[in-house]
Amino acid sequence: MAAKYQVLFQQMLKENETLLSGFKLLHDKYETDPNTYQDQYNKVGEAVMKLIQEYENMLTSSTEKSGYGKYAANLSDKFRSAVKTIFPKIDFIGVQRV
Protein backbone atom coordinates (compact mmCIF):
# COMPACT_ATOMS: atom_id res chain seq x y z
CA MET A 1 0.00 0.00 0.00
CA ALA A 2 1.33 3.41 -0.98
CA ALA A 3 1.89 6.20 1.52
CA LYS A 4 -0.81 8.86 1.81
CA TYR A 5 1.34 11.54 0.17
CA GLN A 6 2.03 9.24 -2.81
CA VAL A 7 -1.66 8.46 -3.25
CA LEU A 8 -2.56 12.14 -3.16
CA PHE A 9 0.30 12.98 -5.53
CA GLN A 10 -0.92 10.41 -8.07
CA GLN A 11 -4.47 11.72 -7.64
CA MET A 12 -3.27 15.27 -8.38
CA LEU A 13 -1.49 14.10 -11.53
CA LYS A 14 -4.51 12.15 -12.74
CA GLU A 15 -7.15 14.80 -11.99
CA ASN A 16 -5.10 17.63 -13.54
CA GLU A 17 -3.48 15.82 -16.41
CA THR A 18 -4.10 18.54 -19.00
CA LEU A 19 -2.59 21.37 -16.95
CA LEU A 20 0.34 19.32 -15.67
CA SER A 21 1.26 17.69 -18.97
CA GLY A 22 1.28 21.11 -20.64
CA PHE A 23 3.41 22.47 -17.82
CA LYS A 24 5.79 19.50 -18.16
CA LEU A 25 6.43 20.43 -21.80
CA LEU A 26 7.06 24.05 -20.81
CA HIS A 27 9.22 22.93 -17.88
CA ASP A 28 11.41 20.86 -20.20
CA LYS A 29 11.83 23.84 -22.56
CA TYR A 30 12.62 26.04 -19.58
CA GLU A 31 15.37 23.66 -18.47
CA THR A 32 17.13 24.06 -21.81
CA ASP A 33 16.60 27.83 -22.23
CA PRO A 34 15.47 29.62 -19.05
CA ASN A 35 15.96 33.13 -20.42
CA THR A 36 13.55 32.59 -23.30
CA TYR A 37 10.83 30.84 -21.32
CA GLN A 38 11.00 32.56 -17.91
CA ASP A 39 7.94 34.82 -18.35
CA GLN A 40 5.75 32.04 -19.70
CA TYR A 41 7.09 29.65 -17.05
CA ASN A 42 6.18 32.12 -14.31
CA LYS A 43 2.67 32.67 -15.68
CA VAL A 44 1.74 29.00 -16.12
CA GLY A 45 3.74 28.02 -13.05
CA GLU A 46 1.62 30.26 -10.85
CA ALA A 47 -1.45 28.12 -11.58
CA VAL A 48 0.57 24.94 -11.05
CA MET A 49 1.91 26.16 -7.70
CA LYS A 50 -1.60 27.03 -6.57
CA LEU A 51 -2.72 23.51 -7.50
CA ILE A 52 0.23 21.93 -5.66
CA GLN A 53 -0.55 24.00 -2.56
CA GLU A 54 -4.19 22.90 -2.62
CA TYR A 55 -3.22 19.24 -2.63
CA GLU A 56 -0.51 19.80 -0.05
CA ASN A 57 -3.09 21.47 2.20
CA MET A 58 -5.44 18.51 1.75
CA LEU A 59 -2.60 16.25 2.82
CA THR A 60 -1.55 18.15 5.92
CA SER A 61 -4.67 19.93 7.21
CA SER A 62 -6.08 17.07 9.30
CA THR A 63 -2.63 16.24 10.67
CA GLU A 64 -1.95 19.81 11.80
CA LYS A 65 -5.36 20.08 13.49
CA SER A 66 -4.70 16.96 15.53
CA GLY A 67 -1.49 18.35 17.00
CA TYR A 68 1.02 16.54 14.82
CA GLY A 69 2.63 19.62 13.26
CA LYS A 70 6.07 18.06 12.87
CA TYR A 71 4.57 15.04 11.13
CA ALA A 72 2.64 17.38 8.82
CA ALA A 73 5.87 19.17 7.90
CA ASN A 74 7.47 15.82 7.04
CA LEU A 75 4.47 14.89 4.88
CA SER A 76 4.72 18.23 3.14
CA ASP A 77 8.43 17.70 2.45
CA LYS A 78 7.79 14.25 1.03
CA PHE A 79 5.00 15.59 -1.19
CA ARG A 80 7.27 18.39 -2.48
CA SER A 81 10.02 15.86 -3.16
CA ALA A 82 7.59 13.83 -5.25
CA VAL A 83 6.70 16.96 -7.21
CA LYS A 84 10.40 17.66 -7.80
CA THR A 85 10.92 14.22 -9.32
CA ILE A 86 8.76 15.36 -12.23
CA PHE A 87 9.43 19.11 -12.10
CA PRO A 88 12.99 19.60 -10.77
CA LYS A 89 12.94 23.33 -11.62
CA ILE A 90 9.63 24.01 -9.80
CA ASP A 91 11.39 26.33 -7.36
CA PHE A 92 12.28 28.70 -10.21
CA ILE A 93 8.68 29.83 -10.67
CA GLY A 94 8.52 33.53 -9.98
CA VAL A 95 12.19 34.21 -10.67
CA GLN A 96 12.82 37.51 -12.43
CA ARG A 97 15.70 37.42 -14.90
CA VAL A 98 17.69 40.53 -15.76
Is the model's pLDDT at 69 over the cut of 60? no
Instruction: For residue 14, give its domain range.
Output: 4-89
Structural domain count, the chain: 1
Task: Give the model's confidence band at 74: pLDDT under 50 very low, under 70 low, under 90 confident, else very high.
Answer: confident
Q: Give domain status of residue 98, yes or no.
A: no
Q: Are 81 and 10 in contact (CB under 8 A)?
A: no
Using one digit for the tens of pLDDT, what is the confidence trace for 29-40?
999 999 999 999
In a domain? residue 20:
yes
Answer yes or no: is 48 within a domain: yes
pLDDT digits (tens, 9 = 90+) for 9-67: 999 999 999 999 999 999 999 999 999 999 999 999 999 999 999 999 998 886 655 56
Q: Which residues, other chains included, contact 49 with Cβ-Cβ below 8 Å and sequence gap of 6+?
A: 90, 93
Evaluate whether residue 97 is within a structural domain.
no
* pLDDT value of residue 72: 74
